[in-house]
Amino acid sequence: MKPLKAPKKYYVSSTDEYPILFVIAALTKGVSIFNGIEDLANKESNRILEMQKVLSQLGIRSKASKNQMKIIGRGMIDADKKKILIENLGDHRICMASFVLSILTGARTEIKNFETVFTSSPSFLKIMKSLGAKFEIKE
């Protein structure tokens, strides 16, 4: 009989997935802690800071440091009387995560420079529309 070998360790860079994971955490009851996220500060925007700003606009509490984000999830919320404003960041992942958060909570959302999404996901709005999302594009 062969001795058992320790499994290989695989490390995956998921800096692009964290914004949507933060949205999921915010809409799930309980505390979620994300460690080892320092690379998020060096993307198109500081994704830690920007997602913290987005979540706070809906009253979702979080605490962030250079290497960690703690989100106090509230479960699904009704935010139809709240508004999310995304400045011109040029960060497609923040735009997409905020769009999804808006659709799920009913928050009115204004995303400046949304066109940046089309660089990584040209069919994003088409997919969202096919899933039942209602949105308006203003010039």
Structure tokens at 139: 């010039």
Per-residue pLDDT band at 11 (split at 50, 70, 90) = low
pLDDT reported for residue 118:
93
Q: Per the domain annotation, does 65 fall within a domain?
A: yes
Sequential DSSP letters for 77-127: ---TT-EEEE-S---HHHHHHHHHHHHHH--EEEETTGGGGGGT-TTHHHH
pLDDT reported for residue 16:
87
Q: Per the domain annotation, does 139 fall within a domain?
A: no
Q: Per the domain annotation, does 83 fall within a domain?
A: yes
Is 69 within 8 Å of 108 (Cβ atoms)?
no
Number of domains making up the chain: 1
Express each pLDDT in 49-67 by its tens digit.
999 999 999 999 999 998 9
Q: Is the pLDDT of residue 45 over 60?
A: yes
Q: Per the domain annotation, does 50 fall within a domain?
A: yes
Q: Is the pLDDT of residue 73 over 80?
A: yes
d(CA 110, CA 76): 21
pLDDT reported for residue 14:
75
Structure tokens at 46: 């500081």
Residues of the domain holding 73: 18-130
What pairing do the DSSP bridges indicate for beta strands 68-73 and 30-35?
antiparallel
Per-residue pLDDT band at 98 (split at 50, 70, 90) = very high
Prediction pTM value: 0.86
Vertex 90: Cα angle to 50 and 78 (nearest 5): 45
Percentage with pLDDT > 70 across the chain: 91
Name 44's Cβ contacts closer than 8 Å, sequence gap at least 6.
89, 90, 91, 92, 93, 94, 116
User: Residue 121 belongs to a domain with what CATH number?
Assistant: 3.65.10.10
